[in-house]
Amino acid sequence: MNNTFIVLLLFALQAPIFAGKDVGNDVIRVEALSQRVRSVDQMKGASNFVRYEVLSEVANEIKSLAPEFHKDVINDLERGKALHGSQLTLLHKMVGLFIELDYKLLRMAEASKEAVFKVLPLLDRYENFSVAYLPFYKEKKFRRLVNAEDRSYEIERKEFKRQLRLLVKKKELKRVHGLFMNFKAKVKRGDITRSQPLVSETLDHHGALLIWDKNYWRKWRRRVVGQTVADFGSRLGRNIVHHASGAFGNGMGAIRWRKGYMWKNKKVTEEIRKQLKPLDIITEKVGYTPTDFFIPGHFGHNAIWLGTKEQIQELGLWEHPVIKPWQKKIEAGYSILETIRAGTGFKTLEEFMNVDEFGLLRFKKDTLDVQSQREKVIKIYEIAFAQVGKTYDFNFDVETTDKLVCSELLYQSFGDVNWPTEPYIGRTTISPDNVVSLALFDNPPIELVYYALQNKKGEVIYKDIDDLASDIGFVKKGDVYKRLYKVCKDEEVKRPGSRGRETINRRTCETRFEDLVYTPHAPLPDLDLSL
């Protein structure tokens, strides 16, 4: 590679990734940083200095973004607030980026014959960890999230912890300290001069101060060992719930005593097909399997309509790299993406219509305009397709992204939406009814487009938004919908008559109405890519 090409490559890498008014969101930007890190492998013939500059700039971006973002994540976790889809996506993409960057720095130090690059990348590793992650790692749920497996972002289970363990080992600290002292001695002898590139930066590096602090790393070694023991109990409990729930769900799900009433109703199927548009939300109810009776609420399943070939062509996205791997599937009619007990995959509309009721919801244009918000639409497709192949989440936890249920597929894919969720046995869940209920909020981001059922007599009954509210237990007050909830309290009251015990405990309950106002998420912190 000649010098001119290297200069041009660096210029391209340093330019803003997105031009124009809408630069894109943080998830896309982190992916852009990942591309920069991966570009180092393509820089054949480039000097270590050129490669290091790219990695250093990415590291500085991470150190700028991560503390603010992770602080917000910790605040939400401590308040018991579920992380929303965009937070989870950004969290995992950042972990993937961080691990990839860390490997590159380690490999550079191991392969380099230049004294400065045997030391400087290793010092960077210590500083990167200490700024971006260590201040937040004491939070148990945060540890679980950053150590979770997620095939979407090529993250192995406990991969982050393995990197951290390597850093805090006495042997590794001693090795890096020895390399630094050897480098310092060479400078003192005059073998290396301070005027050479990056020499002063190495000698004055904050990472050099960190590796001197034995007490700091001794504390972290104890924490990592102690946290491993403490986290085991939590993981064991989750595994028990997952396997018990899985055995029950798979057993009950295998029992079916009839087909859905809409099955093979060509008229209704074609009627629905004409209504569907890319990234619509579809929902259904069946009454022929026991699992439907155990899923809380009215609806039993949600899915995403990806669009037909013609519809995606109209968006100008058919040849986009995000769509290309799935073109054959979509051309064959597999335009529905869903998560069922067998995992996340595709289905045709005809296969999906084995139902008794069918509902179709669409994002309002001020929330998602598929015709004009190109970058946003691409991001949704990218995240949705990244879920393909994931297994079923029998823990029903929206914050575990390595496994999904049907509603969690939407929670992840449409991560910018503030979906309604509910607490359940120490975790946060989202049900099909939660998804659909958003159409009933004041100022909702989605609206009901189509809703119908077919009864056993073969009659098709069309429903409206009021029917939807009634079906999922909401009531209409004037022009707004409200959710019913029960409030109970225990009180001690005097017992009538002459008895041994003068008072008894009595529980009284009252039904109240909850106002439903949709509030968007607070925006995530910005990444500045104009390096």
pLDDT digits (tens, 9 = 90+) for 72-131: 999 999 988 889 999 999 999 999 999 999 999 999 999 999 999 999 999 999 999 999
Least confident segment among 29-33, 36-40, 45-49, 474-478: 29-33
Residue 6 confidence (pLDDT) above 50: no
What pLDDT, on a 0 to 100 scale, did the predictor assign at position 153?
Answer: 79
Residue 352's Cβ-count burial label (10 Å; 0-12, 13-18, 19+) is buried
Residue 414 confidence (pLDDT) above 90: yes
Using alpha carbons only, give the angle 53, 59, 65 rounded to the nearest 5 degrees: 140
Residue 334 confidence (pLDDT) above 90: yes
Strands 391-392 and 403-404: parallel
What percent of the chain stands above pLDDT 90? 54
Residue 164 confidence (pLDDT) above 80: yes
What pLDDT, on a 0 to 100 scale, did the predictor assign at position 509?
Answer: 85
What pLDDT, on a 0 to 100 scale, did the predictor assign at position 341?
Answer: 87
DSSP notation for 272-306: HHHH--TTEEEEEE-SSSTHHHHSSSS--EEEEE-
Residue 140 confidence (pLDDT) above 60: yes
Residue 432 confidence (pLDDT) above 60: yes
Q: Which of the two residues, 303 and 46, has the higher pLDDT score?
A: 303
What pLDDT, on a 0 to 100 scale, did the predictor assign at position 322?
Answer: 96
CA distance 145 to 156: 12
Residue 305 confidence (pLDDT) above 90: yes
What pLDDT, on a 0 to 100 scale, did the predictor assign at position 223?
Answer: 73
Show me where the domains of the chain are located: 3-246, 266-477
Q: Which of the two residues, 2 and 193, has the higher pLDDT score?
A: 193
What pLDDT, on a 0 to 100 scale, did the predictor assign at position 230?
Answer: 52
Residues 18/33, Cβ–Cβ less than 8 Å: no
DSSP notation for 440-505: GSBS-SEEEEEEEEE-TTS-EEE--HHHHHHHTTEEEETTEEEEEEEEEEEEEEEPSSS-S-SEEE
Q: Using pLDDT thresholds of 50, 70 and 90, give the confidence band for residue 484.
A: confident
Rounded to an integer, the average pLDDT of 411-423 is 93
Residues 351/282, Cβ–Cβ less than 8 Å: no
CA distance 53 to 151: 29
Q: Which of the two residues, 498 and 446, has the higher pLDDT score?
A: 446
Residue 16 confidence (pLDDT) above 60: no
Residue 2 confidence (pLDDT) above 70: no
Residue 262 confidence (pLDDT) above 90: yes
What pLDDT, on a 0 to 100 scale, did the predictor assign at position 417?
Answer: 95
Rounded to an integer, the average pLDDT of 232-258 is 52
Q: What is the mean pLDDT of the chain?
A: 84
Residue 527 confidence (pLDDT) above 50: no
Rounded to an integer, the average pLDDT of 418-440 is 91
Q: Which of the two residues, 527 and 418, has the higher pLDDT score?
A: 418
CA distance 36 to 52: 11
Q: What is residue 516's three-state secondary structure?
A: coil
CA distance 370 to 279: 8
What pLDDT, on a 0 to 100 scale, did the predictor assign at position 229?
Answer: 52
Q: Which CATH superfamily is domain 266-477 in?
A: endopeptidase domain like (from Nostoc punctiforme) (3.90.1720.10)
Instruction: Give 348's Cβ-side CA count (13 Å radius).
Output: 11
Q: Using pLDDT thresholds of 50, 70 and 90, give the confidence band for residue 222.
A: confident
What pLDDT, on a 0 to 100 scale, did the predictor assign at position 248?
Answer: 44
What pLDDT, on a 0 to 100 scale, did the predictor assign at position 185?
Answer: 95
Q: Using pLDDT thresholds of 50, 70 and 90, give the confidence band for residue 518.
A: very high
What pLDDT, on a 0 to 100 scale, did the predictor assign at position 292?
Answer: 64
Q: Using pLDDT thresholds of 50, 70 and 90, give the confidence band for residue 272.
A: very high
pLDDT digits (tens, 9 = 90+) for 340-349: 988 999 999 9
What pLDDT, on a 0 to 100 scale, did the predictor assign at position 216?
Answer: 81
Strands 301-305 and 403-404: unpaired
pLDDT digits (tens, 9 = 90+) for 370-409: 888 998 999 999 999 999 999 998 788 888 888 899 999 9
Contacts within 8 Å (CB) and 24+ apart, 287-290: 287/356, 288/256, 288/257, 288/258, 288/259, 288/260, 288/356, 289/252, 289/253, 289/255, 289/256, 289/257, 290/252, 290/253, 290/255
Q: Using pLDDT thresholds of 50, 70 and 90, give the confidence band for residue 62.
A: very high
Residue 237 confidence (pLDDT) above 70: no
CA distance 420 to 427: 14
CA distance 332 to 348: 8
User: What pTM does this model have?
Assistant: 0.80
What pLDDT, on a 0 to 100 scale, did the predictor assign at position 5?
Answer: 36
Residues 39/51, Cβ–Cβ less than 8 Å: no
